[in-house]
Amino acid sequence: MDEAALLQRPTRRPRRRRQPVLAAIDLGSNNCRLLIAEPRGRHGFRVLESFSRTVRLGEGVASTGRLSEAAIARAVAALVICAERVRRYGAFRLRAITTEACRRASNVEDLLTRVMDKAGITLDVISADEEARLAAVGCAPLMGDGYAGALVFDIGGGSTELIWLEADEHEPVYAVSLPVGVVNVTETLGDVSIKAMEDALRPSFAEVAVRMTAVRPFLADGRHLLGTSGTVTTLAALALGLRRYDRDRVDGSWHESMQIRDVVEKIAALDLAGRAGLNCIGPERADLVLAGCAIFNAIHAHWPCQRLRVADRGLREGLIRELMCQDPT
């Protein structure tokens, strides 16, 4: 079944809706995420369903330059589930993207072909610049009132995006995507301390800081960090003392940046089994969370804003907002 048929022939429609249903899929280097929503008002939308599954698509790409057969199979299986849910809601429009792992993999066409054959979905391999832009679009509504601006960061499986937004400017002051994420950092550096990871990451972030300053000095006073991704939402959940992850409490929550660094320090003191036993981490992500913590520390070291706002949103929400702006006919 091709993508047009996927969107036009729902197997079951929950109920008739006045607004067109929109769907967005983000196949990242670690997770496959789906968001189905309907527009509300001029700029808002209501989430009808979301789905996330760990697929580790970027596993091994840093060393081999290829997507493994096992990773492709996991991704395709997750996207088949996404396709079924998109059909169920009779989505009027769908956009599906994939990011760093597929930008780097020499056999990406194998994945794209199998996804179309098995799920009827066209995957768009987006550029690093577009990934940064979509992350900003998805998170921008959470920029704090009374702040001059925010540094948005998205720590992914294969890359980290940094986007400097100012409250009174429509376009980002500066945006960059670095090819460092929790999967490739973990695979490249192996079982080392968080300090060793930070030492390895420091030159990349220092170079970004220099380039950003050449455009305009970033002043931490009056600005805040705005973080999205599994790493920062997990750190926020732990800082809030949640027994289980609760999106309603995490999304939009404010934290002192040093409080989050204290959580990082506690995680870093644990071994793999100890990290796996923590609420909101578990065995599935215990081996990756330390790399995410190191990336967060590197970001805060170069952009030491006092406060951090956490967003359980990102590329999918950016995609939905852009689909809302398209001609509905």
- Contact, 36 vs 49, CB < 8 A? yes
CA distance 154 to 254: 16
CATH topology of domain 142-315: Nucleotidyltransferase; domain 5 (3.30.420)
Looking at the predicted structure, is the pLDDT value of residue 1 above 70?
A: no
- Per-residue pLDDT reduced to its tens digit, 61-102: 989 999 999 999 999 999 999 999 999 999 989 999 999 999
**pLDDT band, residue 314 (cuts 50/70/90):** confident
Closest by CA position to 22, among listed 83, 118, 94, 71 = 94
Average of per-residue pLDDT across 205-213:
96
- Give me the pLDDT at residue 15, please: 52
Q: Residues near 297 by Cβ (< 8 Å), separated by ≥ 6? A: 194, 198, 261, 264
Average pLDDT, the chain: 90
Residue extents of the structural domains in the chain:
3-126, 142-315
Q: Which CATH class is domain 3-126?
A: alpha beta
- Per-residue pLDDT reduced to its tens digit, 233-282: 999 999 999 988 998 899 999 999 999 999 999 999 999 999 999 988 98
- Per-residue pLDDT reduced to its tens digit, 165-205: 999 898 899 999 999 999 999 999 988 999 999 999 999 99
Percent of the chain at pLDDT above 90?
Answer: 73
- pTM value is 0.82
Average of per-residue pLDDT across 118-131:
94
- Per-residue pLDDT reduced to its tens digit, 59-71: 999 899 999 999 9
